[in-house]
Structure 1
Amino acid sequence: MTDFSYKPTLTGELVVLRPLGEQDFPMMKAAMDDPEVAKLTGSHGTISDEKALEWLRTRKDQPDRLDLAIVDKASGEAVGEVVLNEYDPDNRSCNFRILIGPAGRNRGLGTEATRLIVGYGIERLGLHRISLGVYAFNPRAQRAYEKAGFVVEGRLRDELYWDGEWVDSIVMSVLETEWPVSSPM
């Protein structure tokens, strides 16, 4: 693997992951306007619609990251995104992040989307390590990541200041030697 230029479509039982694009603006706007999404992603402030649209337009052209929309197979609607970014080719590693909007919560879509993109990263792209950070006030996400094979590595203390309180970030990763995950979704 030399980069993330190829943008695949990955299909599971509950979701389809497809390249993120301009057509996903309504879903991303709804997600970013949701107070729970803002909190769980640690997003302070807003960005203009114009900047958001331009960002979405450029996702297909990024060789150093893979941005895929999460499409709920039951409704056919995009409900979030999964991203592999911060690619380090020398160490065959990258970062993972996910965003699920209100329409996609509590149905296992995020867990399946996570497993699909991690499987793609390890099995098809040859990644050795995929890491992430999850805020301590989001145990639901931590459980979903553990179901997908991620293991807690440590804690970044007081990484986020939210609503007058400091919040730790929990660092997790999955290694190619731990994949595939045998635990049930």
Structure 2
Amino acid sequence: MKFSSERLHLIEFDEELLNNEILSWFQNPDLMKYYTNSKVPITKEVLLNAITAGRTDHNNFTYFIVHSESNDIIGTLKLGPINKHHKTSDLVALIGETGYGKGIGTEAIKLGIRLAFEKYDIRKLLGGMYASNIGSIKAYTRAGWIVEGVLHGHYLNNNKNEDRILVGCFNPKYFTDIEIKNAKYKKWYDEN
């Protein structure tokens, strides 16, 4: 299965394509500000161990996001961990290279949705992000995700409590339009 859009396509992670430029994304404080909850530095060894373990366990899958015109790898997409019983998974998109046009993150997330629903038969995608990470919240909601709730004071960010915004994306194969509509967190939409 090939997953492509107007400007992007996905390819499975290949260690031979992992270069210093891609690894530098995981050392960039601006990109990593919201990327990991543990705040543990992501080295090449840590990254490869996680990808290998996910493949072995069949519950985490990593893809490169490729700009189709230039064939440049501009980001990564991680699907997992997958809960096989409930058919749920997290989906994380990281755009490491900028300058490829407005909305590229949203386009990558939409590809991730197709990958999750069509290849892995995921019933529901879920995730959470810092409330101050407005760019990610907008990218995910523009890609069709909805805000389902808020975990108040979930993160400790610069010694201050910060909310975690909970987002979800529902596979229409498993959910009706009414179920999806009723899942929206009303307060979030009323206040913003």
Q: Which TM-score applies when normalising by structure 2?
A: 0.77
Asked if the contact 1:24–1:78 (Cα under 8 Å) also holds between the matched residues in 2, the reply is no
1:38 to 29, 32, 36: 32
Q: 1:5 matched to which residue of 2?
A: none
User: How many Å separate the matches in 1 of 2:26 and 2:99?
Assistant: 14
Is the Cα–Cα contact under 8 Å of residues 159 and 167 in structure 1 kept in the other structure?
yes
Partners of 1:71 and 1:77 within 8 A in 2: yes
CA contact (8 A) 1:93 1:130 kept: yes
- Matched AA of 1:128: R
Provide, for residues 112-155 of structure 1, a one-character-per-residue CA deviation record: whole Å limited to 9, x for no partner.
Answer: 11111212322343322111112111111111111111111111
Residues 14-163 of structure 1: pairs in structure 2 closer than 5 A: 14-22=7-15, 23-42=17-36, 44-56=39-51, 61-103=56-98, 107-163=102-158
Q: Secondary structure at the match of 2:34?
A: helix
Alignment-mate amino acid for residue 144 of structure 1: A
**TM-score, with structure 1 as normaliser:** 0.79
Q: Give the letter for the 1:122 counterpart.
A: F
Asked whether the 8 Å contact 1:27–1:78 carries over to 2, the reply is: no
In the TM superposition, what is the alpha-carbon distance from 1:166 to its structure 2 partner?
Answer: 2.3
Distance 1:176 1:78, change over 3 A: same
Q: CA deviation at 1:51?
A: 3.4
Q: Return 163-172 or 101-110, whichever deviates more.
A: 101-110
AA aligned opposite 1:15: L
Aligned residues: 173
Q: For residues 154 and 24 of structure 2, what CA distance do their matches in structure 1 show? A: 26
1:57/1:125 Cα in 2 relative to 1: closer, same or farther (>3 Å)? closer
Amino acid paired to 1:110: G
The gaps in structure 1 that reach 5 residues or longer are: 1-7, 181-185
Describe the shift of the 1:94–1:31 C-alpha distance in structure 2 as closer, same or farther (beyond 3 A): same
Q: Report the CA distance between 1:18 and its aligned residue.
A: 0.6
Q: CA deviation at 1:56?
A: 5.0
**Percent identity between the two aligned chains:** 22
1:157-176 alignment, distance < 5 Å: 157-176=152-171
SS at the partner of 1:41?
A: coil
Instruction: Tell me by how many angstroms 1:179 deviates.
Output: 9.2
Deviation of the 1:77 alpha carbon = 1.5
Secondary structure of residue in 1 paired with 2:98: helix
Residues 13, 62 of structure 1: CA spacing in aligned structure 2 closer, same or farther, 3 A cutoff?
Answer: farther
RMSD: 2.6
